[in-house]
Amino acid sequence: MRDWVVGGAVVEGPLGVLLVRNRRRDGRIDWSPPGGVIDPGESVLDGLTREVQEETGLRVTDWSDVLYEIIAVAPDMGWNLRVQVHRAQHWVGDLLIDDPDGIVDHAQWVHPDECGAQLSGGARWVVEPVSEWLTHRWVETRQFRYRVDGVVGSDLTVVRE
């Protein structure tokens, strides 16, 4: 089993919530909050700061505690995913995409009421937690657990536990 540790960011500005467009290797396109895989030896916040800057050009200077954590287990694909999502409390810079992974090709501020539509088609374990946080704005850390069965995107069964 491959264990992935990912940092996710909720960045809000006067024009809305920052979302990035991802061009996946299989040709699919989806939207998500910025973030990505934490490199070995990096703390989650150091890796998240790096990922947000690469994907959006913004340098986050202050993060909240964990808003929510996502645990997704995909035994058929051989991976476990743990995502820690933090809210960017202060940042500097202008939007500029320079993703060395070549996945993120656009960033856009989206009104919170329109995020659900923009995120539709994305992975359930990405869409549900951020949509619920935007609706309820809880303070304490929450956890979301998912089981992912199958190996092909269109045939996956995702169950929230």
Note the pTM of the prediction, 2 decimals.
0.95
> Which of 78, 107, 79 lies closest to 19, judged by CA?
107
> Which of 5, 3, 16 lies closest to 116, judged by CA?
16
> Which domain CATH number covers 99?
3.90.79.10
Question: What's the pLDDT band for 27 if we cut at 50, 70, 90?
Answer: confident
Residue 63: which domain range? 2-160
Tokens of 31: 């939207």
pLDDT in tens, 109-160: 999 999 999 999 899 999 999 999 999 999 999 999 999 999 987 789 999 9
d(CA 41, CA 57): 23
% residues pLDDT > 70 (the chain): 100
Distance of CA 97 to the CA centre of its chain: 16
CB 145 within 8 A of CB 161: yes
Instruction: Please tell me the total count of domains within the chain.
Output: 1
pLDDT of residue 25: 84
The single-letter code of the amino acid at 106 is H
